[in-house]
């Protein structure tokens, strides 16, 4: 990975972002915050992040009893949150009140189950970037084995009033 440009490095001089910095970039909160650490971020290009998949996740109570598997839709959401961090950092949106909304999910493929105790690796890159609409390609994997691939589109918008 290339060194992140101006200000994308985490504390201690490395590329990693911890939870407080992620919380500053995303509006998501527990139990729906699905990015635990950003390992590297190259503005205008890509992000690598992780989600530590714990047996204590609420969805494992019912998906599935006796054979807990992370729902594929939540893998896609984790990739979308990583993309949101990439967009916020690239477009300088931190603190602006702008949100990154899903517009489309395309070509989602689920290749392998994700179980408790896994470290879900999230890799997202820009495919196309405009002022208000961005396209991304994302891959989730565990120990180098792809669990999910997806292309998606997001829109940058003001937060709803109310």
Evaluate whether residue 17 is within a structural domain.
yes
Query: Are the CB atoms for 140 and 79 separated by under 8 Å?
Result: yes
3-class secondary structure, 77? helix
**pLDDT reported for residue 7:** 41
**pLDDT reported for residue 131:** 82
Q: How many CB atoms lie within 10 A of CB 69?
A: 15
**pLDDT reported for residue 16:** 84
Alpha-carbon distance of 146 to 114, in angstroms, equals 10
Query: Are the CB atoms for 148 and 110 separated by under 8 Å?
Result: yes
3-class secondary structure, 58? helix
Q: State yes or no: pLDDT of 128 exceeds 70.
A: yes
Structural domain total, the chain:
1
Evaluate whether residue 64 is within a structural domain.
yes
Query: Are the CB atoms for 82 and 34 separated by under 8 Å?
Result: no
Residues of the domain holding 74: 11-158
Evaluate whether residue 3 is within a structural domain.
no
Specify the higher pLDDT residue, 65 or 116. 116
Answering whether pTM is above 0.95, one says: no
Evaluate whether residue 6 is within a structural domain.
no
Evaluate whether residue 1 is within a structural domain.
no
**pLDDT reported for residue 2:** 36
Structure tokens at 71: 């729902």
Q: Which of 21, 28, 63, 125 is catalytic?
A: 63
Evaluate whether residue 4 is within a structural domain.
no
Q: State yes or no: pLDDT of 6 exceeds 60.
A: no
Is 63 one of the annotated active-site residues of the chain? yes
What is the average per-residue pLDDT within 49-61?
Answer: 94
Evaluate whether residue 5 is within a structural domain.
no
Q: In Å, how far from its chain's centre is CA 53?
A: 14
Evaluate whether residue 2 is within a structural domain.
no
Give the confidence band of 124 by pLDDT, cuts at 50, 70, 90: very high
- Which CATH number fits the domain that encloses residue 62? 3.10.129.10
């Amino acid at each position: 990975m290339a060194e992140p440009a101006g200000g994308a490095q985490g504390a201690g001089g490395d590329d990693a972002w911890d939870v407080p910095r992620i919380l500053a970039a995303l509006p998501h909160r527990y139990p729906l915050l699905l990015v635990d650490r950003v390992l590297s971020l190259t503005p205008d290009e890509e992000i690598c992040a992780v989600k530590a998949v714990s047996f204590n996740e609420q969805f494992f109570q019912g998906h599935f009893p006796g054979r807990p598997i992370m729902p594929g839709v939540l893998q896609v959401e984790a990739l979308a949150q990583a993309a949101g961090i990439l967009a916020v950092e690239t477009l300088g949106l931190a603190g602006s009140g702008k949100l990154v909304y899903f517009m489309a999910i395309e070509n989602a493929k689920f290749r392998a189950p994700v179980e408790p105790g896994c470290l879900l690796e999230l890799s997202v890159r820009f495919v196309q970037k405009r002022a208000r609409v961005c396209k991304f390609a994302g891959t989730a994997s565990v120990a180098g084995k792809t669990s999910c691939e997806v292309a998606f589109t997001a829109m940058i918008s003001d937060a709803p009033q109310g």
